[in-house]
Structure 1
């Protein structure tokens, strides 16, 4: 029994030793293969950094507003007997939009006007008689009061009739009509919206630290999602005199010509307040910048002593970013060659190979490991 146990133990040790030996042999061969394997070259696209003029901006957001815009409503209750506009049409200042039934008011006005001549004649007669001491001062005052009261009633009735004629307060374009012929309107019913969109306005805020850079007449570029490829040009027309003490922001207003009627009120807009041009600045494609825990980085391509191209990771300080371009303040210089795509597998001192490709696309070719 002991011999059998000893034999089994020896067999097990032999099998275990052979497995360990095979693994050691395998690892040695792998190490030899990796040692003799050429260092991988990572394909990248690059760009040579050059200085250029940079137009800095203050970026902001806001909503488009009309030059003037109101909800047309009635001051007096009444039934509509006339509608003089169509939805979505241009109207002029003073144009009649809606007329409320005013037959009763017109009848009262006609009655008062009929009494006016008699009242005036009576007052003039009493005035002449008073000068001859033929009537008392009290009788003269009563006739004058009656005449003045009638004049006031006539003016009041005219005003009521006029208020039943709802007119456009300014030139503009009406929206969709909310009322119908014959409808009875209570006071304050919304009839239609009227907007003057010949010039649009954009209100936005900027930090108080930027106040010194903003002035009246300054050019502002405006972008809206409806026309992504169009930059609308406006100018700052007003600056709020006070800073909001809670947010530290100051409100700015820009006027934007709208001759083509492309802009509409309520549109979300992005604004770039144009600042003076700065010469000889470093700008790079945003695709060249990668973010790590240590900040923004770029890979600079240099040739080593063996003639191989290798990358050096450099931390950069980025100023402003506009579209696909970033303004770099520190970390690179004119003449540096930086990687614009293919950074995913790169590390410091990695060997690279430059390929021709669109700098904004990731190279399709990847190294074999």
Structure 2
């Protein structure tokens, strides 16, 4: 009996010591191990701004109006009135050809017309006095008309000896010299109207039903990479190229500083649809099979996972149709370190600009 009591006492003492040691270890661990700090993440606000679906293309710049200035007659160049690359107004005199003979013919034709008119007035007075038949007036009237026609013909030949600008624009290089003999069709220079230019480009036929005249176009050229040139679609070709399955589109682009020149290659974006929408960085979106999520940090710095619906995409940005509100903070970096319901510390990033691409 005594032995049993001793054994029971020893077992009870061992149990008490074991429990005490376990509690001591737990206490020691709480004193030695510090609490884990909240993970740091980078956030960015959901912003509302204009978003657009665009198609990128390459286009060629063309003059609004373009013409080769040529001679109409065979004659020697008497005087040149322009310089290479000069900007001229409509009707500006460019070249004068030798015209002495034509000037003499015009003077003679004018004198003949004046004589016919004087004779008509004289006979008209005699007819009133009934001293001459009215049929004589009819003959003189015919003579006046013939004299007018001869004068007009000679005047046209004289006018052909001067070459003028048909519209305002910029001249190209001079192709003739003073004293040279020009012939019909010989190019004197070129003239381009560049205050606005045409931009021709092609887009895939699948976009044909989504583009209308008036659609916005923004582009840039290699010569001026930091400048955006804007315009509007003015026409769509009536045919689709059977080889490329693309349709040609023409836009008109303002060019007040005359920076754009015919033949330039322009990289452009054609806006198919534009609206106001909520936008986040593309890196904030987590794809999972057919669904997409974002991590939102609420006002208490607690992470929430949201199912979202995506809209237009761009390089680095995406439109959110549903799932978040304007002004909410989404995680863009550090998502792999957090889970829903966890408290985090945050770091803000800069705002961005959205340009959607189809």
TM-score by length of 2: 0.61
The one of 148, 152, 156 aligned to 1:155: 152
Q: Which residue of 2 aligns with 1:261?
A: 258
Query: Any gaps of 5 or more consecutive residues in structure 1?
Result: 1-46, 286-318, 339-369
1:85-138 CA distance string (max 9 Å, x none) = 111111111110001111000001111222222211212233343455544455
Q: Is it true that 1:173 corresponds to 2:163 in the alignment?
A: no
Distance of 2:157 and 2:147 partners within structure 1: 15
Distance of 1:321 and 1:182 partners within structure 2: 64
Q: Which residue of 2 aligns with 1:294?
A: none
Give the 3 Å change call, closer, same or farther, for CA 182–155 of structure 1 in structure 2.
same
Distance of 1:245 and 1:80 partners within structure 2: 46
Distance of 1:197 and 1:180 partners within structure 2: 26
Q: Is it true that 1:244 corresponds to 2:244 in the alignment?
A: no
1:303-337 CA distance string (max 9 Å, x none) = xxxxxxxxxxxxxxxx9986x648699xxxx8687
1:50-80 CA distance string (max 9 Å, x none) = 9777542111222101222211111222111
CA apart distance, 1:218: 3.0
| Contact 1:56 1:320 (8 Å CA) reproduced | yes
Distance of 2:168 and 2:223 partners within structure 1: 26
Aligned runs of 1:43-54 on 2, under 5 Å?
none
Give the 3 Å change call, closer, same or farther, for CA 154–225 of structure 1 in structure 2.
same
1:273-308 CA distance string (max 9 Å, x none) = 1331554466359xxxxxxxxxxxxxxxxxxxxxxx
Q: Which residue of 2 aligns with 1:301?
A: none
The one of 273, 276, 297 aligned to 2:274: 276
Q: Which residue of 2 aligns with 1:292?
A: none
3-state SS in 1 of match to 2:143: helix
Aligned runs of 1:173-322 on 2, under 5 Å?
173-236=170-233, 238-240=234-236, 242-244=238-240, 246=242, 249-274=246-271, 275-277=273-275, 279-280=278-279, 283=282
Distance of 2:66 and 2:161 partners within structure 1: 21
Give the 3 Å change call, closer, same or farther, for CA 112–206 of structure 1 in structure 2.
same
RMSD: 3.5
Give the 3 Å change call, closer, same or farther, for CA 264–141 of structure 1 in structure 2.
same
Q: Is it true that 1:75 corresponds to 2:72 in the alignment?
A: yes
Q: Which residue of 2 aligns with 1:17?
A: none
TM-score by length of 1: 0.60
Q: Which residue of 2 aligns with 1:63?
A: 60
